[in-house]
Amino acid sequence: MNIPQFNFDLIRNSNIWGILEDDHNLQANLFSFLIHFALFIFMIFSIQWQTKIPNFAEVELWDAVPTQIKNKQIKTEPKKNKQIKKIKTTPLKIDKQQLKLNEEAEIKLKKKKVAEKKALAKKKKFQEIKKLQAKLLKQEEIDKLQDKLLEQDKLDKIKDKLLEQERIEKLQDSLRDEELKKKPTIAIAADTEVLAGINSGELDRFKALIQQKIQQNVNNQLCGLDRVELEFEISLMPTGDLLGEPKMTQSSKIASCDAAVERAILQSQPLPIPQDKKLFKRLKDLKLKFHPNGHYDL
Amino acid sequence: MIYRIYSLFFGVLLLLSTPIYALEVIEILGGKASEIPIAIVPFDGLENIGGQKAHQIISSDLNRTGLFRPLNTLGISNPPSSDININYTKWSAMDAQFIVVGKVESENPVSGNIKITWSLIDIFKEKTVVSMRYIGKKSQYRAIAHKVSDNVYEHLTGSKGVFHTKIAYVKKVNNKKYSLNVADFDGFNSRPILNTTQPIISPRWSPDGEKIAYVSFEKKKPVIYIQNLRTGKRTLLANFKGNNSAPAWSPDSKKLAIVLTYNKNSQIYTINADGSGIKRLMRSNAINTEPSWAPNGEDIYFSSNRGGNPQIYKVNINDDEISRVTYEGKYNLSPSISYDGKLLIFLTNDQGKFKVAIQNLISNQVLKISEGPADESPIFAPNGHLVLFTYKDYGKTTKIGTVSINGLKRLPINVGSSIIQEPTWGPITN
């Protein structure tokens, strides 16, 4: 099957272009035709032609005005007309110059009003901008302050962390030093526990409370004048009372002093104990080191 | 095999991860000077002998020390007389840490001897500390009660009690009669060992308890005598040119330090108890007086104005090395050293009032233990826990009394209405 091919060369080589170039009438007709064709196309595609049937309204036509409508209101109308008729209308004598001046004044006034309005608007805008600026400045300041506070907070936290770290490290060191001599595994476990997050502040608080309560009952008059040291180990019940008797692990070598310190422990019952089970577990068994006459050297 | 190794590994890991707590350590520094609450229960049986009651004597003894707080036990229903069936809850509720119970019985109706059985009970520990029995004459009733006090004191303080010791003092009647008297530590059973019309001052009991040295004006100037308490025999120890005063015994009772104005000012000398071997201690133009021999036998504490105002110094008798001891207060004098050498008492001028002060020679802390305004002649009890001194309110009669070294208890010793002064305390004897 042969596909028809458009032969451009034929067109190019034909004399149609020559005829068109020479004949101006043909050019005009052709131009007119093209214009009309374009308009036609435009009308067809751009104008929405009414295709729907419009709704129509029914109207009743009367031959005469219905009698019922004759009422007073209607009657009064002619009176009004009379009054209107009475008013004498005097034609205004208009001075053209005056009119011009008035017009100019009006224009000026209008201009002035517009200017004022503009100025007011400008002022308002300026104030708003100022307010906004102030607000922004304030906000900026607040932001700065907040930043500062946040920074301070951060610094404090870091400081606290460092101090806590230092404290933990010291505690670890002391525990390590003490316990490594005896059982290395215990020291390692103790360190782990400290790092595991027992509330060290609370632990210290309860240790201080226990220390304070016992110290009040130590009658150091019975411990001579020399520097003496004693050690007791105690176990506590959750009530703060002693479980069993205090066990003396180091004597002061003064019987009355040993007894006085033991009495102080017994007398201090119940000892202050935390509610927290984890914490209590740490304070359940205690080693108490006594220095009844302080630390002064001989 | 591999399975076993893995099991072992995980087992060890589990063991290590289980928290093993290090024992929490709490350091307790210091304490406070408090009194032990003790209940001396009225003794059962024949307690009232000649108006004296054992529980009252014991209570009074312990109260004087400043170490005990005897509780009121009058009106207690069914007071226990032994350590059997003690209601510990009841006594604990009364705040008692210890109770003393006992019974007085007739030991032998023919001889009239009495038997006192007593117990000291620990209320905290719910056990008997000590139980004892004394037998003696009715006339020894007070002495037996003092012995009970001594035992309670020693068991609870670790130091020997001084309730069975004697004191000596000078009694002055109408500025005409003077007597040197010896009495129980609480003033009972007083008796004179010397009566004279001339003043007596500075009596000092020898550490062996045999003799008393004192200064008498019977030779129209102060001279030093030593009087044997068994025989009553007096020996003139020092009658040198000038004044002879302020005798102080060495710990072994073989020597004395005395003060002579042989040269110009008062100077300290040592002399043997038989009057031989006089030796000057220091070469100084200042006044050196009121010696007190330290228990080490080598140091003598004394007061001197060598620094301007009177202060306490000590000198080593071997090398004459002198060092100042008191620095607190501008005017300190009359030193007396405790029998263990750890405490020093002296008189201090506190804004015009003379008070007894005590200095811990280890820590050098000073505590004023009397109120003044005109206290004099402080001297230690032989256990170093009490101080005997003369006190006087302006315009009133001079008396003697004791003050505990913690300053908590100041109590008079009642030995009559005369002027009582210049006390000294005898040693603890068995």
Kindly report the three-state secondary structure assignment for every residue of A69-93.
HCCHHHHHHHHHHHHHHHCCCCCCC
Q: Which residues share a beta bridge with B215?
A: B201, B224
| Cβ pair A291, B27 in contact under 8 A | yes
- State the nearest Cα–Cα gap between B16 and chain A, in angstroms: 7
Answer whether A294 touches B (CB < 8 Å).
yes
Give the end of a domain, one of B93, B122, B157: B157
Closest to B255 in 3D by CA, of B297, B288, B225, B304: B297
Identify whether residues B42 and B111 lie together within a single domain.
yes
Contact between B362 and A221 using a beta-carbon 8 Å cutoff:
no
Q: What is the CATH number of the domain that holds B254?
A: 2.120.10.30
- Residue owning tokens 């228990």: B295
Phi and psi angles of residue B169, each rounded to the nearest 5 degrees, phi first: -155, 165
Q: Which two tokens stand for residue A160?
A: 């606290």
Answer whether A265 touches B (CB < 8 Å).
no
Domain ranges of chain A: 110-197, 199-290
Residue of B nearest to A212 (CA): B28
B360 inside domain: yes
Identify whether residues B136 and B184 lie together within a single domain.
no
What CATH number is given for A199-290 in this structure? 3.30.1150.10
Answer whether B319 touches A (CB < 8 Å).
no
What DSSP state is assigned to residue B210?
A: S
Q: Would you state the pLDDT for residue A18?
A: 67
- State the nearest Cα–Cα gap between A291 and chain B, in angstroms: 5
CB pairs A-B closer than 8 Å:
124
- State the nearest Cα–Cα gap between A239 and chain B, in angstroms: 18
**In chain A, what residues touch B16 (CB-CB under 8 Å)?**
185, 188-189
Contact between B20 and A190 using a beta-carbon 8 Å cutoff:
yes
d(CA A232, CA A257): 13
Answer whether B404 touches A (CB < 8 Å).
no
Identify whether residues B51 and B151 lie together within a single domain.
yes
B14 inside domain: no
Phi and psi angles of residue A227, each rounded to the nearest 5 degrees, phi first: -75, 115
**In chain A, what residues touch B344 (CB-CB under 8 Å)?**
none
Type of residue numbered B5: I
Identify whether residues B410 and B334 lie together within a single domain.
yes
Identify whether residues B103 and B204 lie together within a single domain.
no
Q: Which residue has the higher pLDDT, B5 or A111?
A: A111
**In chain B, what residues touch A178 (CB-CB under 8 Å)?**
22
Structural domain of residue B81, as residue ranges? 36-157
B101 inside domain: yes
| Cβ pair A165, A191 in contact under 8 A | no
Give the end of a domain, one of B126, B157, B188: B157
Neighbours of A90 (CB within 10 A): 6
Mutation site, B21, B69, B125, interface A, largest A CB count within 10 A? B21
Answer whether A29 touches B (CB < 8 Å).
no
B77-B78-B82-B83 Cα dihedral, nearest 10 degrees: -70
Strand intervals (E) in B30-73: 36-40, 44-45, 48-49, 52-53, 68-71
ipTM: 0.79
Closest to B212 in 3D by CA, of B241, B181, B187: B181
Identify whether residues B236 and B379 lie together within a single domain.
yes
Average pLDDT, chain B: 91
B353 inside domain: yes
Q: What angle do CA B349, B350, B353 make, to 5 degrees?
A: 75
Identify whether residues B205 and B283 lie together within a single domain.
yes
- Three-state SS string over B235-281 comes to EEEECCCCCEEEEEECCCCCEEEEEECCCCCCEEEEEECCCCCCEEC
pLDDT tens, position by position, B190-210: 999 999 999 999 999 999 999
Answer whether A57 touches B (CB < 8 Å).
no
Q: Would you state the pLDDT for residue A112?
A: 78
B6 inside domain: no
Q: Which residue has the higher pLDDT, B236 or B372?
A: B236
**In chain A, what residues touch B343 (CB-CB under 8 Å)?**
225
> Which residues of chain A register pLDDT less than 70?
1-18, 20, 47-98, 139-140, 142-144, 146-147, 149-151, 153-155, 157-159, 161-162, 164-165, 167-198, 295-298
The number of angstroms, rounded, from the C-alpha of A298 to the middle of its chain's C-alpha atoms is 67
Q: How many domains does chain B have?
A: 2
Contact between A221 and B124 using a beta-carbon 8 Å cutoff:
no
| Cβ pair B236, B224 in contact under 8 A | yes
- State the nearest Cα–Cα gap between B346 and chain A, in angstroms: 18
State how beta strands B419-425 and B234-238 pair.
unpaired
Residues in chain A: 298
Identify whether residues B106 and B73 lie together within a single domain.
yes
Q: Would you state the pLDDT for residue B219?
A: 92
B24 inside domain: no
Residue of A nearest to B96 (CA): A267
Answer whether A235 touches B (CB < 8 Å).
no
Phi and psi angles of residue A214, each rounded to the nearest 5 degrees, phi first: -70, -40
Identify whether residues B326 and B349 lie together within a single domain.
yes
Identify whether residues B392 and B346 lie together within a single domain.
yes
Identify whether residues B179 and B316 lie together within a single domain.
yes
Contact between B25 and A287 using a beta-carbon 8 Å cutoff:
yes
| Cβ pair A186, A179 in contact under 8 A | yes
pLDDT tens, position by position, B254-300: 999 999 998 878 999 999 999 999 999 988 889 999 999 999 999 99
pLDDT tens, position by position, B160-179: 999 999 999 999 988 789 99
Q: Which two tokens stand for residue B146?
A: 């003092």
Answer whether B127 touches A (CB < 8 Å).
no
Share of chain B above pLDDT 90, in %: 80
First to last CA, chain A: 132
pLDDT tens, position by position, B139-159: 999 999 999 999 999 999 999
| Cβ pair B116, B101 in contact under 8 A | no
| Nearest-10 crossing angle of helices B141-157, B54-64 | 40
Residue B392 CB partners (closer than 8 Å, separation 6+): B374, B375, B376, B398, B399
Contact between A193 and B19 using a beta-carbon 8 Å cutoff:
yes
3-state secondary structure of B319: coil
pLDDT tens, position by position, B84-99: 989 999 999 999 999 9
Contact between B26 and A187 using a beta-carbon 8 Å cutoff:
no
d(CA A175, CA A85): 121
Q: pTM to 2 decimals?
A: 0.69
Which residue from B28, B360, B406 is facing A215, i.e. has the nearest CB? B28
| Cβ pair B282, B288 in contact under 8 A | yes
Identify whether residues B356 and B315 lie together within a single domain.
yes
Give the end of a domain, one of B128, B157, B186: B157
Q: Would you state the pLDDT for residue B315?
A: 96
| Cβ pair B302, B268 in contact under 8 A | yes
Contact between A219 and B32 using a beta-carbon 8 Å cutoff:
yes
Contact between A294 and B18 using a beta-carbon 8 Å cutoff:
no
Neighbours of B414 (CB within 10 A): 14
Contact between B31 and A219 using a beta-carbon 8 Å cutoff:
yes
Q: What is the CATH number of the domain that holds B136?
A: 3.40.50.10070
pLDDT tens, position by position, A48-80: 665 555 555 555 555 555 444 444 444 434 444
